[in-house]
Amino acid sequence: MEPIKLTLENLNKAFPENFTQEQIAKAKTLFLKKLAEDAHKFYGGKTQTVPKAPVMGFNWFNVWYTPGVSKVSTNIRDNNAASYELSNRGNLVAVVSDSTRVLGDGDCTPSGGLGVMEGKAFLMKYLGGVDAVALCIDSKNEKGENDPDKIIDFVKMCQHSFGAVNLEDISQPNCYKVLDVLREECEIPVWHDDAQGTACVTLAGFINALKLANKKASDVKIVLFGAGAANTTIARILIADGADPKKMVMFDTKGSLHSGRKDIESDKRFYRKWEICLSTNPDKIKTMEEAMKGADVLISLSTPGPDSIKREWVRAMAKKSIIFACANPVPEIYPYAAKEEGAFIVATGRGDFPNQVNNSIGFPGILKGALMVRASKITDSMAIAAAHSLANYAEKRGINPENIVPNMEEVGVFPDEAADVAMQAIKDGVARVKITRDEAYKKAKADIDYSRSLTKSLTETGYIQAPKQEMLQNALDWAVKQVS
């Protein structure tokens, strides 16, 4: 009998039978890292530029370039809005980062963020039908400090080439100022996926998890572990959608947030954290042990685990407790461990565990929706609309404790989400173009179908090679050796 061909889908069956659940989880993480390294080297990254116009003969170069293109330039000069129709600007996103907080790896130097930023561009194209380019920049000033104003200036200067900007992996507190200034001062939507994107998808999971637990947002006690851009925005979005701030407690590295945290009040750069201090934790609960007693929901975006969230904390939670352990690349507690301690629903940021609460189901559809109506900004209401769109889509096809949100393979969710976001942009008064929901849905679906068909065609014809079997096997052998 021939050995079973190793794939990512049958990976769990490939580990030694004597491996414990913890060993499998560790080996899987190492396998994915090694495979990512080898695959990126094999392909030379994962994105490329492909023309979308034909070359039917030599003289067509005179149309796509000089002298014919002069007419395009002067048309746009006289009416800048024409750039959305005469160039790719209307479907093009800049993925901008200074790479100072890349996943759980911290400051990776500007070019160190390219893997993630190219990944964003890859997903935007395949899932959202949106073109994107990775722009990793150096934000250091003359003193060697990361300067938010340098990022702000850069985005302002390059905004005229793009339909939207996706900010990514910018460390706090700089990320707060960068987003808030650019949202107000740019002509195009500027979106911080680590903040608004994570909040959107977390809210979607939160909505459906509460349905399964038969609990209401206004009633539940929520603990937020970690106080970076993601969790502070999650708190704001949850409150805007009905959660009670008086039943929330958030923790940073120095303890709980509350109105007595003078260290946060005195540092004006952390104004978003200070807002949380003033609106939550009125009883000034100080410890995680105290906060977790009877808590219904734990949302953690903190230090990668697997022991950042203690088992005893989970045991102290209310019945049918809900845990979002979303640190990357390793969750703060493994799902199996949280389940052993009584958790009802566990979500992580990873696709190899149930309930992947990851930005990948949010930003492609959200940005597509904003682009289709030429929105001037992406409002919190648009992010909340996207969250409800995701939750509703999942509920219609069926949800359970192991499946609370859509995944990236559910291609139908993205045009649906894009259409809902476009409609909310019109409702919020930030859309420059008004279309019907049906028009938005059909446009998004057509562009997404095109992108997926293009990738499939290039793969089937050999222009994109299939990954070699030995690449997967070598990564598996290496990971097993590290854990054994």
Residues with Cβ within 8 Å of residue 3, at least 6 apart in sequence? none
Q: Which helix (H) or strand (E) holds 225?
A: strand 222-225
User: Which tokens go with 226?
Assistant: 């970690």
- Edge to edge, what strands does the sheet with 164-167 contain? 131-136, 92-97, 164-167, 190-192
Report the sign of the C-alpha dihedral through residues 159, 163, 169, 173, in that order: positive
> How far apart (Å, rounded) are the C-alpha atoms in residues 315 and 309?
11
> Which phi and psi (to 5°) does residue 18 adopt?
-85, 5
- What is the DSSP secondary-structure string of 327-390? -SSS-SS-HHHHHHTT-SEEEES-TTSSSB--GGGTHHHHHHHHHHTT-S---HHHHHHHHHHH
Query: Which amino acid is present at 463?
Result: Y
Tell me whether residue 176 is one of the annotated catalytic residues. Answer: no
Catalytic residue among 120, 215, 221, 443: 120
> Of these residues, 41, 43, 52, 65, which one is catalytic?
65
Structure tokens at 4: 């079973």
DSSP 468: P
Catalytic, 441? Answer no
Q: Is 327 left (phi over 0), alpha (psi -120 to 50) or beta?
A: beta
Buried-exposed string 355-375: b where 16+ CB fall within 10 A, e elsewhere: bbbbbbbbbbbbbbbbbbbbb
How wide is the angle at C-alpha 114 spanned by C-alphas 108 and 118, nearest 5°?
145
Catalytic residue numbers, as ranges: 65, 120
